[in-house]
Amino acid sequence: MTDVRLRSRVEVERGLFMAESFEVISRALDAGAVPRSFLMSEKWIERFAPLYARFPRVPVFVGEEPLIEQLTGFHLHRGALAAMQRPVLPSAAELLEGARTVAVLEDIVDHTNVGAMFRSAAALGVDAVLVTPRCADPLYRRSIRVSMGTVFQVPWTRLEAWPHAPHPPGVPAPAAGVDLLHESGFDVLALALTDQAVPLDEVDLGPDRKVAFVLGTEGHGLQPSTLAAVDQHVIIPMAGGVDSLNVAAASAVVLWQRRAMLGAG
Ligand SMILES: C[S@@+](CC[C@H](N)C(=O)[O-])C[C@H]1O[C@@H](n2cnc3c(N)ncnc32)[C@H](O)[C@@H]1O
């Protein structure tokens, strides 16, 4: 199911996600993910034995490659697939406790970008990632693969509320995500190409500040309601007549700058 709202109705108890390749499945299992089944062709049985042998009660389905391709709809060139139980996500408040650097992914549509942003977050020392209610799924097979399995390493959760996200009628709106970040002591910085944005190299990102960087969707960027709710707009100065970076590239640049200003090695 590709629709986030539909899918979230059957998660967690019936939800699953797919992990692919030895490295990714290993990372998922090491992070405590629970497998439901494995699927592979005969030539991979030995290679994956150290993984499925840890779960003697979990079935390992073995089939001819063309049949597996027909079943899954894609060529399984990385050996095996594991169907895994979706984890219960922590609350945002839990995640923010003790965190100092946070990335917020607002409505990112492309699973490749979500995966690449998690990879940067893991590599550049982000303590937690928050995804907005409409953001693409970090546990979609492609996000997991592009993240190199770092979606299992970086603590993350899906926000229940965000300035522009609709709340179901009759359900009291939980504190919008920006308020929650403020209550936890974070300065909320929007990465945005607005007139009032401060160039990244002039922004204090030192250890005295807890910062949450909000990155916007690929097409239109951040929503006006988000831009109005945050504390500061930050721009990565562009050259060469290029107006913006890909959102995953922008996340890597800003997270690197934070890391450098924290004096991290
Ligand atoms: C491809 S950009 C969206 C461009 C969109 N047309 C706009 O005006 O925001 C996707 C996201 O990457 C981030 N981004 C990309 N380039 C940036 C830059 N030079 N400065 C700050 N943020 C940037 C922003 O968060 C933006 O919402």
Ligand 1 contacts CB of residue 110 (under 6 A): no
CATH entry 3.30.1330.30 includes domain 15-85: yes
**Residue 204 pLDDT:** 96
Among 119, 141, 223, 123, which residue's Cα sits nearest to residue 177?
223
- More confident call, 13 vs 91: 91
Q: Among 191, 218, 235, which is best to mutate for testing ligand 1, by the most ligand atoms less than 8 A from CB?
A: 191
- Domain at 92-165+174-261, CATH class: alpha beta
Could you read off the pLDDT of 63-81 as tens digits, one per residue?
998 999 898 887 877 789 9
Distance 209 CA to ligand 1 centre (A): 23
pLDDT over threshold 70, residue 265: no
Could you read off the pLDDT of 114-137 as tens digits, one per residue?
999 999 999 999 999 999 998 999
Among 152, 155, 157, which residue's Cα sits nearest to residue 23?
152
Residue nearest to atom 25 of ligand 1 (CA): 215
* 71 backbone dihedrals φ, ψ, rounded to 5°: -65, -45
CA-based end-to-end distance of the chain: 42
**Residue 95 pLDDT:** 96
Domain boundaries, the chain: 15-85, 92-165+174-261
**Residue 89 pLDDT:** 92
Q: Is the CB of residue 129 less than 8 Å from the CB of residue 96?
A: no
Which amino acid is residue 229, in one-letter code?
A
Ligand 1 contacts CB of residue 188 (under 6 A): no
**Residue 233 pLDDT:** 98
